[in-house]
Structure 1
């Protein structure tokens, strides 16, 4: 096991370097970078000052900024060095887990991510728990009652929920229950109320849960279909195998067959997906859900960073998400062996 883990960790290094290299090269050709944006802002200010002072401003119109000011701006953002030197410097900093400082927030990237995590963790944790705790029992029930009215009705409901975009459902919930045209039962925005610090412990918990009802509902409804149908398919595949017929022939009851024999084998593909799903839900913020409910999370941070060409945030979060994703994949592969000892590390490696 140790040799396998060390091998996988060693393979993560070229993967991370390759992803960062491709992203860094793409960034070099994207127009409207931070240097261009700052130059445009300075020119607009200069034009406004020239108009206000009747031509007495230092702004020189079509001549733009002088060479010294342009060099100063490029040095400010680190673009005074060749591209390969900047990439090597980025790698050396990332090895020390220094993700740099945002151009626009003027804060460290790690600090920004840490500030946005409460929103993403709140949405991710509740979504993860509700989806898995609901879909696995529902999928088992559908597999046992395959083809029944219950199976058809529940499939219809979850597929309708899957077809509704999360942000559209969120808007409908706000209109219905957020003080729109009908009932004002839940808050419109934010993770907590403005007076949250003044509340006691029970009041803080209730206030937090009160704010989470609508966004969590909007983010979970669409996720029921995939996990439920995957659970059903996995259990149906196991129920139809020969060892189940043998267990029934020996006189075992249906519950004993289902939970003592089928359950463990059918849960392997579901449980091994837990680490990746856990990391993905926690750290992949939903931009539309966050925007709809005015939640300042990682999704909104990533979107704004791309628009502003805030390259330290874009590359830093990409590095962080890629590293977590690779570790989650390693944890998934290890869970195969831990759940089913018949699977060796050689088979997992292939």
Structure 2
């Protein structure tokens, strides 16, 4: 096992390098850049792609490969941006003495080749120096840490709830395979899997978090209005069970410990439910199929023939083997939900998490945030792959990766 882990660790470096090279090359062919974004903002927040589509001024291509709209801005200003964003460096004549300065006649900006910028970036990243955001003047690490609570909330609770519901349900479906319970639950799971998470989130908002007035049938609305008045807030005709936005209330710091706990769960209920629905469906069917495969094996038939009870056979023999594929996938599932935060769900519930950060960085061409988070999350994903293999061995010591070469 030690040799296998060492081999996997050695493969992390070339794999990570390949991921970064592919994404760096792809970004060179994407029109627009951070300088275009700044120009667009200076001109009143216009569309950065206006010039590219033919409606906005002439485009000139800098030697660094970053397209800049020629709209009458001073060249000195554009040169300073090139240097600030590390697309160019200041080079002065041989006889010049003093600090390199673009304002000096003897100094000029010289574009940095793309391959050199890439290796300089990777050298910083290997030292875990991810630089600062172009547009926020905040280090990438601080920016990620600022958005982390939302991702931890969605990732942790969505994964835990998915496992807590899916495993017992999947086991029961496997034991009662072909029954009416199995049929109806399968239909419900398929419907849940077919509904996109963002559409389910909109449905939850309309039903439980908006001020849209609707009447429930059979006098249910009247019953709630008369007996549970706190649900209606300031509008006596509309029921609102959950808050619409944010991770906590504005007065969170003034609440007691128990009040803070209730406020926290009150806010995360709907976004976590919307994030869980697809993982819940997949994990339930995976658990069922895994148990069905084990139940049909010879050792189960032998155990039953010896007179062992069904529960003893199921939880004493089948459970450990069937849960191997389910439990070992926990690290990967958690990291997937944790770092793949749903942009749409975060936007719908006004949650400022990593998904929204990545989307905004892509639109703004905020390269330090884009490549810094890509490097960090790719590294974590590769490490999680190794942890998953170790989890296999911890659950079933019979597995020997060294024999796989």
Q: Does the pair score TM above 0.5?
A: yes
The verdict on how the C-alpha distance between 1:41 and 1:279 changes in structure 2, with shifts beyond 3 A counting, is closer
The verdict on how the C-alpha distance between 1:62 and 1:187 changes in structure 2, with shifts beyond 3 A counting, is closer
Instruction: Give 1 or 2: higher strand fraction.
Output: 2
Query: C-alpha distance in 2, partners of 1:171/1:78?
Result: 42
| Partner-residue secondary structure (3-state), 2:132 | coil
Report what 2:129 is aligned to: 98
The verdict on how the C-alpha distance between 1:206 and 1:263 changes in structure 2, with shifts beyond 3 A counting, is same
Query: C-alpha distance in 2, partners of 1:37/1:211?
Result: 35
The verdict on how the C-alpha distance between 1:63 and 1:221 changes in structure 2, with shifts beyond 3 A counting, is closer
Instruction: Give 1 or 2: higher helix fraction.
Output: 1
Q: CA deviation at 1:74?
A: 0.6
Q: CA deviation at 1:68?
A: 2.7
Query: C-alpha distance in 1, partners of 2:341/2:34?
Result: 24
Q: CA deviation at 1:63?
A: 6.5
Report what 2:264 is aligned to: 208
| Partner-residue secondary structure (3-state), 1:224 | helix
Query: C-alpha distance in 1, partners of 2:157/2:242?
Result: 17
Residues 1:135 and 2:149 aligned together: no
Structure 1 portions without partners, runs of 5+: 46-60
Q: CA deviation at 1:86?
A: 1.0
- Map Cα deviations across residues 80-138 of structure 1 (whole Å, 9 max, x no partner): 12212211111111111111111111111111110101011111111011000100010
Query: C-alpha distance in 2, partners of 1:180/1:42?
Result: 38
Q: Could you tell me whether the CA contact under 8 Å between 2:3 and 2:402 is conserved in 1? A: no
Report what 1:70 is aligned to: 78
Report what 1:325 is aligned to: 381
What is the count of residue pairs matched by the alignment?
334
TM-score by length of 1: 0.92
TM-score by length of 2: 0.79
Q: CA deviation at 1:43?
A: 5.8
Matches within 5 A, 1:32-71: 32-42=32-42, 64-71=72-79
The verdict on how the C-alpha distance between 1:69 and 1:220 changes in structure 2, with shifts beyond 3 A counting, is same
Q: CA deviation at 1:178?
A: 1.0
Structure 2 portions without partners, runs of 5+: 46-68, 89-111, 215-238
Q: Could you tell me whether the CA contact under 8 Å between 1:290 and 1:296 is conserved in 2? A: yes
Match of 2:177 among 131, 146, 165: 146
Residues 1:312 and 2:368 aligned together: yes
What is the RMSD of the two structures over their aligned residues, measured on CA atoms?
1.7
Q: Could you tell me whether the CA contact under 8 Å between 2:140 and 2:368 is conserved in 1? A: yes
Report what 1:336 is aligned to: 392
Q: CA deviation at 1:76?
A: 1.2
Larger gyration radius, structure 1 or structure 2: 2
Report what 1:194 is aligned to: 250
